[in-house]
Amino acid sequence: MLDVRNLRVEYRTAGAPYVAVHDESFAVRAGEFFTLLGPSGCGKTTTLRSVAGLETPTAGRIEIDGVPVFDGATGRAVPTHAREIAMVFQSYAIWPHMTVFENVAFPLRVKRLPGAALRRQVDEVLQMVGLGDFAERPATMLSGGQQQRVALARAIVKDAKVLLLDEPLSNLDAKLREQMRRELRRLQKHVGTTSIYVTHDQDEALSLSDRIAVMRGGRIVELGRPLDLYLRPRHTFTARFVGQAELAPCKVVQAGADAVLVETKLGRFRARVNADIGARANHLMVRPEHVVFADADADADDGTGENMLEGQIANILFSGKLVEYEVQTGQGVVSVCAASNVLRTLGEAVRLHLPPEHCVLLTDGEGGGSLGDIPGGDAAPAGPGNRRTA
Ligand SMILES: Nc1ncnc2c1ncn2[C@@H]1O[C@H](COP(=O)(O)OP(=O)(O)OP(=O)(O)O)[C@@H](O)[C@H]1O
Ligand SMILES: [Mg+2]
């Protein structure tokens, strides 16, 4: 439905041109909820504005439903109003002098839809976003969440080929954001509009998206389903940005068919094979909620000492559902997230087990891990961007 090829966007600045998007390619399938996720300034909005035709890229090609709307090679650039898109932005951008009904009806009036059909469609969409009873209210007499729903309803009623959403929930308070997130997911699946969503909020991205493109510095680092990016990331940046991760630089000692033995400063670990990474593996990752206390797991210790860590509980952060323990080991602090049914005490000596199936091998593009460097020798093959921590 949307195809972005080798997109490059440079901004003219006083000095040299600033490259906001380097060489970005992705394709979004019909009906898909696709998210651009990344830290502030990584080029998410620039990408979205290029798709909308609000920004003129320097190079590349953009197609919507098979129709080229931008082609850097030929100079073709279809204006925004002629691209079949609808947009929702962070600021509510509704018309204050109109009622809720008229706000939502606006795109249909532009299309000169007859009165009865217009009324039916607007009513249907207002019901859908839970504003059925608010049709005649002035749009300004609404809460932030309701105003954002008006903006969403107006975008949905347009029945565009692609819906572009740039941090639409970021102005709402935490509770409302959570509620709107659920509604948005339900609505998008119900309406089935191909959607591109921009956010820097990993929870939002994980819970809403069919697929996520993780961006950094104007480039897509990794692209995949939320579950895969979380459980089997390929890059340390993804591991850190999508969830909490414990990372240690490592060196492969022995590569088998179904497990890899690696050496880290914390000891030897068996990890699952990550075929995508192969020999480039230079970091070991485990998620805090996958680390287990060995005394609570009879199968944890096989006597080899592999995948085991010893330490002391140095800090306890209670968050209700979960408890996060910071365990001080000889080489750094390891976070462990556990359910709150068995509680540990501060200073308690503990043994930790990192189950091999949850030990993931990654490749690094940006420096060392949180857990010390490996002993003696090069963890990472020397390559561009492979900074080592001292
Ligand atoms: N009009 C402009 N002129 C010059 N530089 C710009 C312009 N717009 C954006 N930039 C720069 O391009 C980069 C990407 O900006 P963009 O707005 O796409 O980031 P973003 O990922 O949407 O960030 P955020 O999460 O903060 O919204 C930033 O470094 C920004 O400063
Ligand atoms: Mg932005």
- Using one digit for the tens of pLDDT, what is the confidence trace for 173-187? 888 788 888 888 888
- Binning pLDDT at 50, 70 and 90, where does residue 380 land? very low
Over pLDDT 90: what percentage of the chain?
61
331 vs 193, higher pLDDT = 193
Rounded-to-integer distance, Cα 140 and Cα 129, Å: 17
Mean pLDDT of 53-78: 96
Residue from 22, 35, 46, 198 to probe ligand 1 pocket by mutation (most atoms less than 8 Å from CB): 46
Report the pLDDT averaged over residues 280-303.
Answer: 85
Supply the CATH number for residue 278's domain.
Answer: 2.40.50.140
CB distance 211 to 230 below 8 Å: no
**Per-residue confidence band for 2, with pLDDT thresholds at 50, 70 and 90:** very high
- Tally of domains in the chain: 2
Q: Which two tokens stand for residue 225?
A: 């389903």
- pLDDT in the model for residue 373: 52
Any ligand 1 atom below 6 A from CB of 341: no
Cα 37 from Cα 17, distance rounded (Å) = 24
43 lines ligand 1 (CB under 6 A): yes
Higher pLDDT, 83 or 301: 83
Q: Which uninterrupted H or E stretch holds 220? A: strand 219-224
CATH code assigned at 66: 3.40.50.300
CA–CA distances in Å: residue 283 to residues 244, 312, 375: 15, 24, 13
Quote the CA–CA distance of 225 and 184 in Å, as a whole number: 18
User: CA–CA separation, 289 vs 276, rounded Å?
Assistant: 24
Residue 344 predicted with pLDDT over 50: yes
Q: In terms of C-beta density within 10 A (0-12 exposed, 13-18 middle, 19 or more buried), how is residue 386 classed? A: middle
Same domain assignment for residues 330 and 286 = yes
pLDDT, position 182: 86
Q: What is the pLDDT of residue 389?
A: 32
Same domain, 260 and 182: no
- Which of 142-151, 260-269, 381-390 holds the top average pLDDT? 260-269
Query: What pLDDT sits at residue 100?
Result: 95
- Ion ligand 2 nearby residues (CB, 5 A): 45
* 277 domain residue, yes or no: yes
Domain that holds residue 188: 2-227
Q: What is the mean pLDDT of residues 325-336?
A: 92
The C-alpha atoms of residue 297 and residue 351 are separated, in whole angstroms, by: 11
Burial of 389 (0-12, 13-18, 19+ CB in 10 A): exposed
Q: Which of 125-129, 251-255, 365-369 has the lowest mean pLDDT?
A: 365-369
Does one domain contain both 88 and 146? yes
User: For all residues of the chain together, what is the average pLDDT?
Assistant: 87
